[in-house]
Amino acid sequence: MAGVKQGDWVVAAADQVIAEGKRRGPDSPLVCASGVSPSGPIHLGNLREIMVPHFVADEIRRRGMECKHILSWDDYDRLRKVPAGLPASFAEHIGRPLTAVPDPCGEHENWAEHFKVPFRAALAELGVEVTEISQTEMYASGAYREQILHAMRNRERIDAVLGRYRTKQAQTAEAEPDDDEGDEPAGNAYYPYKPYCAACGRDTTAISSFDEGSTEIRYSCQCGHSDGFALSEGNGGKLVWKVDWPMRWAYEGVTFEAGGVDHSSPGSSFTVGSQLVREVFGGQPPSYLGYSFVGISGAAKMSGSAGGAPTPTDALQILEAPLLRWLYARRKPNQAITVAFDQEVNRLYDEWDALGRKVAAGQAELTELAVRERSIGSATRTLPSTELVLPFRTLASVVDITTGDEEQTLRILRDFTSDPQLADLDQVRPRLDRAQAWVAGYLPADERTQVRMEPDRARLGQLSPTEREALKLLLDGLDEHWSLPGLTSLVYGVPKLQAGLALDAPATPELKAAQRSLFSLLYALLVGRDTGPRLPTLLLALGTERIRTLLSVA
Ligand SMILES: [Zn+2]
Ligand SMILES: [Zn+2]
């Protein structure tokens, strides 16, 4: 696949990364990095941490160059708090590394793995290839031993750099979520390293001394335990986050990274890290993009994740993978995006399908073409798509009306398709399954369609002569107009016929009013409400026999 030439944000970022690589030297690799803390459910906001570097790495690969995308699991971080929806008893483990906290469900190796597993599966479904790095494994294996000793020997320089920003932060009174780490008071007592206590396993420790010759540290823990070990041999702790981040830029040779807007402001961890990597670790900061929030519409009615924000796994139950990629690709990282779980999901699918039709018709602009390319797959893989595309709202209505009955669904969907006609429900999968999951999980009970079992005889007995005539015209025209476009023209056309006009006569305000009252009559007689799925869809779904039963005047 050729590189996408048009200048969207991905192209601009890839250009910068390639330039940064050249500046660093002819053999320097291109490395895009993401960092995720598996401390709780990894939600759709966290997914942006992966998708922004993914699109950049993917664009570089499309140009035929190698680019590594690393996913650094910050699983050696302390458990800060127990996320909503998980047993409060886990509070006992606050302060321990995420890989040392037990698995909440009993099926995984530990707490961190419990949250990594579903996220990993979602990435695979999204066609995102990453090289995973566990920070627990890195620290526990002593991989960073030299870097830790270097940071400890340079602790005063680090402290001085951090100090420049401590003052600024005190002035603006702005704090970051990560500021509970690595910002202990300036002075002799500053250490950029935090040991996990050998007795209780928590990081509620304070270093009391460091011997540069023997590299031995002594610490005491809030649990009462005091201990020590030589940093040249032992591995029981980690660099504080603001130092850890730039250390890893140098260690991995990171050329691109993205971070939440809270890490991107002046005086933020990125600014501080940029100075530390240059002044202390002899490296360069990566090319960087700050990304904005991911909003959720309809989250309140969610039936997915227990209590927390929805995850990529939840989203992929109702959104096709290319559509989810598209939501993250189409906006610049600094723009907020919204993932819909409510009725808005219909509009997202409509927009996505409209883009597909535009591309197929050869009418798409280059930026639209580029974003569609990035959405349907990666440089190495095209994602599965639905063979026969029907509007999501149609599938959802049909599934709603048939309550998922496959035979009935197939019969109805055949009436919606002509060229080619649907032979097998697999042709409308995976979209049909997404529609089914949406109706089952996110369509509120009071918005579900309940088709009348028996005709509403009371209402049918009170019809006005005009209503009576309208129903007769509709029933008489059913067979001739039995298709989606046919029924559309029929239901809108009945009031026109009554006014002595042709079916395709232009609508007037009077006709529109007559159409509205006919529609509410039909909804009342068919589903016992004032509204419902689009009428042509509903009629096709019901079938002529059922319609005649419910609409015929005895
Ligand atoms: Zn588990
Ligand atoms: Zn302790």
Q: What is the pLDDT of residues 38-70, one digit of tens each?
A: 999 999 999 999 999 999 999 999 999 999 999
Task: Compute the distance from residue 115 Cα to the ligand 1 centre, in Å.
Answer: 7
In the structure, ligand 1 is a single-atom ion and the residues with CB under 5 Å from it are 103, 105, 107-108, 114
| 408 pLDDT above the threshold of 50 | yes
Q: Measure 163 CA to ligand 2 centroid, in angstroms.
A: 29
154 and 210 in contact (C-beta within 8 Å)?
A: no
Instruction: Please enumerate in sequence order all residues whose Cβ is within 8 A of that of 400, keeping only pairs 6 or more positions apart, or say none.
Output: 439, 443, 448, 449, 533
pLDDT at 92: 97
Which tokens in the block code for residue 394? 């149609």
- Residue 182 region by backbone torsions, left for phi larger than 0, else alpha for psi between -120 and 50, else beta: left
Residues 490-495: contacts with CB within 8 Å, 24+ apart? 491/515, 491/518, 491/519, 491/522, 491/535, 491/536, 491/539, 494/470, 494/518, 495/470
C-alpha of residue 117 to centroid of ligand 1, in Å? 9
Ligand with the closest atom to the CA of 106: 1
Chain segment 120-171, per-residue pLDDT in tens? 999 999 999 999 999 999 999 999 999 999 999 999 999 999 998 876 655 5
pLDDT score at 186: 44
Start-end of H helices in 214-281 = 241-252, 269-279
Grouping H, G, I as helix, E, B as strand and the rest as coil, residue 221 is: strand
Residue type, 412: I
Long-range contacts of 110-113 (CB under 8 A, 24+ apart): 111/38, 111/39, 111/79, 112/38, 112/39, 112/73, 112/75, 112/136, 113/38
Instruction: Output 527 or 304, whichever has higher pLDDT.
Output: 527
- What is the pLDDT averaged over residues 374-402? 94
Q: How far is the CA of 40 from the centre of ligand 1 (A)?
A: 11
What pLDDT does 173 receive?
A: 41
- CA of residue 36 to ligand 2 center, whole Å: 26
pLDDT in tens, 489-540: 999 999 999 999 998 899 899 999 999 999 999 999 999 998 888 899 899 8
Reference 291, options 260, 323, 252; nearest CA is 260
For residue 504, give the DSSP letter. Answer: T
What is the CA(103)–ligand 2 centre distance, in A? 21
Dist. CA 89 → ligand 2 center (Å):
18
For residues 317 and 437, what is the distance between their CA atoms, to the nearest angstrom?
Answer: 6
If you average pLDDT over residues 239-262, what whole number do you get? 94
Looking at the predicted structure, is the pLDDT value of residue 301 above 70? no
CA 78, CA 98: separation in Å to the nearest integer?
Answer: 6
pLDDT at 386: 94
* Structure confidence at residue 189 (pLDDT): 82
Q: 77: CA distance to ligand 1 center in Å?
A: 18
The full 3-state SS of 129-158, as one line of letters, equals CCEEEEHHHHHHCCCCHHHHHHHHHCHHHH
CB half-sphere exposure, 166, CA atoms < 13 A: 15
Beta bridge partners of 256: 32, 287
pLDDT in tens, 10-39: 999 999 999 999 999 988 899 999 999 999
Cα of 483 vs centre of ligand 2, distance in Å, is 73
Residue among 153, 147, 149, 179 at smallest CA distance from 166? 179
**Half-sphere exposure in the Cβ direction for 518 (13 Å, CA):** 26
For residues 176 and 195, the answer to whether their CB atoms sit within 8 Å is no
Question: How far is ligand 1, taken at its centre, from the CA of residue 105, in Å?
Answer: 4
Q: What is the pLDDT of residue 306?
A: 52
Q: How far apart are CA 46 and CA 71, in angstroms?
A: 12
pLDDT tier for residue 300 given thresholds of 50, 70 and 90: low
pLDDT at position 299 is 63
The whole-angstrom separation of Cα 164 and Cα 285 is 18
Residue 452: phi and psi, rounded to 5, are -60, 140
411 or 509, higher pLDDT: 509
Closest listed residue to residue 48, CA positions, set 315, 254, 367: 315
Nearest in space to 47 (alpha carbons), one of 381, 333, 442 = 333
Instruction: In whole angstroms, give the CA distance from residue 363 to residue 366.
Output: 9
pLDDT for res 165: 83
Phi, psi of 259, rounded to the nearest 5 degrees:
-150, 155
Query: What pLDDT shows up at residue 298?
Result: 85
β-pairing verdict for 237-239 and 193-195: antiparallel
For residue 87, report the distance from its CA to the centre of ligand 1, in Å.
13
Report the separation in Å between the CA atom of 197 and the middle of ligand 2, taken as the mean of its atom positions: 5
**From ligand 2's centre to the CA of 152, what distance in Å?**
22
Tell how far the Cα of 199 is from the centroid of ligand 2, in angstroms: 5
pLDDT in tens, 263-283: 777 778 899 999 999 999 999
Question: For residue 199, which ligand has an atom nearest its CA?
Answer: 2
Q: Which ligand is nearest to the CA of 201?
A: 2
pTM listed for this prediction: 0.89
In 155-214, alpha helices (H)? 155-172
> CB–CB of 436/406 below 8 Å?
no
pLDDT digits (tens, 9 = 90+) for 374-383: 999 999 999 9
258 Cα: distance to centroid of ligand 1 (angstroms): 29
Q: Where are the alpha helices (DSSP H) in 208-254?
A: 241-252
> Could you tell me the distance, in angstroms and rounded to a whole number, from the CA of residue 113 to the centre of ligand 1?
7
- pLDDT category of residue 308 using cuts at 50, 70 and 90: confident
Report the separation in Å between the CA atom of 219 and the middle of ligand 2, taken as the mean of its atom positions. Answer: 10
Residue pLDDT, tens place only, 469-478: 999 999 999 9
Average pLDDT, the chain: 91
Q: Which of the ligands is closest to the CA of residue 221? A: 2
pLDDT tens, residue by residue, 94-108: 999 999 999 999 999
Say how many Å lie between the CA of residue 118 and the centre of ligand 1: 10
Among all ligands shown, which has an atom nearest to the Cα of 102? 1
State how beta strands 226-230 and 216-221 pair: antiparallel
Query: How far does the centroid of ligand 2 lie from the alpha carbon of residue 205, in Å?
Result: 7
Please provide residue 376's backbone torsions phi and psi, each rounded to the nearest 5 degrees: -80, -10
Q: Judge whether residue 177 has pLDDT over 70.
A: no
C-alpha 96 to ligand 2 mean position (Å): 10
